[in-house]
Chains A and B, each alone.
Chain A
Amino acid sequence: MQTLRVIWAIFVKDLRVEWRHRETLASMCVFGVLVVFLFNFAFETAREMSLRLLPGLLWVAFAFAGVLGFNRSFAAERENASLEGLTLTPADPGAIYAGKLLANLFFMTVAEVVIVFAVSLWYNFSFIPVLGLFSLVTGLGTLGYVAVGTIFGAISANTRMREVMLPVLQFPVAVPAFIASIEGTTGALRGEPLAVYADWVNLLIAFCIIFLVLSYLLFEYVLEE
């Protein structure tokens, strides 16, 4: 009960901070839309095959938007030395991780909605008929991606060149989530039944469980002084 309250308090705090300056969300959305915009030129000739293009395009945009968000998530705490304040409270480090994770998940979801909207508009693709399964795959993939992104964001906040360090740490580890999300999204966008790509969804669930538990347990050492 106490833990849940801590998680909620951190989540609300992050949202409030974001509401006051609106930097993280704005940069995530603008950057994600820019990626979609550039892809438009990169794959001009292949535009008719948009169904084969879209899953990769979406996940590249999500991945880059996510890196921006995870970087800000702990960099801001570090710059104001407010992370020390957080660690001084009697809160369980795992709860701090969970609160941060929820906030990042929220920001990612908002950015993804904006990106999907831009893709839908510019590539003339309607997501509405496949929205249910597409949301399921994207939601699971995002959870897995955010699970590793949150802990690596906390780690890279301690380094010089953290903007580079975060993707270098995160992308290799997130490869399974990335592959499974792209394969699952491909199936979902084609309107195939869930059974066709159930293996990928199961892999995503396993990825989420493994890295959520592992990060929850290891976060204590990341905060330790």
Chain B
Amino acid sequence: MIHLGVTILWLLIAVWMIFFYAPREATMGEVQRIFYIHVPAGWTAFLAYFIVFVGSVIFLAKRSQAADDLAHAAAEVGFVFCTSMIVTGPLWAKPAWGIWWTWDARLTMSFLLWLLYVSYLMLRSYVFNPGRSALLAAVVGIIGFVDVPVNYMAIRWWRTQHPQPVIGGGEGSGLEPAMRLTLYFCAGAFWCLFAYLVRERLAIARLRRELSAARRASAPQDQKEDRG
């Protein structure tokens, strides 16, 4: 409950900062403010995939149900943040660069991360035997995570070999202090929201398991009917 309250308050202040505290960007104007949503969403998406990896490794090593729940929850919530990044990116690119999409290294990488999320979540819902889905998903989570840096190398080399699209200088090349503060504040708000959603998702997973255990315990004769 406290967590929810803090998250809401933090997000509200973040929204206020985005629109009233952060200065207007000189060349791009108001549209640049989407930066404070886009970049923290991307950071959260990459952090979430790291959590999927850690959860998968712990699950394979210790077979702890909690680790598998964590990996699954982080993947679901991370997918939402990754989708926000993918959606806000083109919305910003169109007015700033004049195009919706370009196969630049970062864009390609973000889309790839999104695909890795899709494949992980699809696998989890399509495995025949639910008992095995955790094992197989853990293997996919680990391979996918190891693939991220290899992919990053490949895509960067690939892009530097081709003509670069015209992109107005990167944000990293000197951010105004008020802008930087807003960015970090937004990132904090997103991580707080991420943690809240993952906690809720973990609670649901736990309840679901308790419920099915209680059902099995209370009515063993029902099982036969279910099967028939």
Query: Do A and B associate with each other?
Result: yes
B155-A179 in contact (CB<8A):
yes
A221-B139 in contact (CB<8A):
yes
Asked whether A179 and B143 contact (CB < 8 A) given A169-B119, A172-B119, A203-B153, the answer is no
Interface residue from B143, B157, B161 paired with A203 (Cβ < 8 Å):
B157
Closest 10 interchain pairs by CB? A176-B154, A159-B126, A172-B115, A173-B147, A179-B154, A168-B119, A169-B119, A176-B150, A179-B158, A218-B139
Q: Which residue of A lies closest to B146 (CB)?
A: A214
A221-B138 in contact (CB<8A):
yes
Interface on A for B, CB 8 Å cutoff?
148, 151, 155, 158-161, 165, 168-169, 171-173, 175-176, 179-180, 183, 199-200, 203, 206-207, 210-211, 214-215, 218, 221-222, 224-225
Asked whether A159 and B153 contact (CB < 8 A) given A214-B142, A221-B135, A221-B139, the answer is no
List B contacts of A199 (CB < 8 A). 157
A155-B154 in contact (CB<8A):
no
Encode contact with A along B41-52: 1 for CB under 8 Å, 0 otherwise.
000000000000
List B contacts of A161 (CB < 8 A). 126
Asked whether A218 and B143 contact (CB < 8 A) given A155-B136, A172-B112, the answer is yes
Interface residue from B115, B118, B144, B146 paired with A210 (Cβ < 8 Å):
B146
Encode contact with A along B128-159: 1 for CB under 8 Å, 0 otherwise.
11001001101110111011001101110110
B154-A151 in contact (CB<8A):
no
A155-B155 in contact (CB<8A):
no
A225 CA / B122 CA spacing, docked (Å): 20
Interface residue from B122, B143, B146, B158 paired with A183 (Cβ < 8 Å):
B158
List A contacts of B143 (CB < 8 A). 148, 151, 173, 211, 214-215, 218
A215 CA / B118 CA spacing, docked (Å): 21
* SS class, residues of chain B in contact with chain A: helix
B123-A183 in contact (CB<8A):
no
A169-B123 in contact (CB<8A):
yes
CB distance from B2 to the nearest CB of A (A): 39
A173 CA / B128 CA spacing, docked (Å): 23
B112-A159 in contact (CB<8A):
no
A160-B135 in contact (CB<8A):
no
A199 CA / B129 CA spacing, docked (Å): 43
A207 CA / B115 CA spacing, docked (Å): 19
List A contacts of B132 (CB < 8 A). 158, 224-225
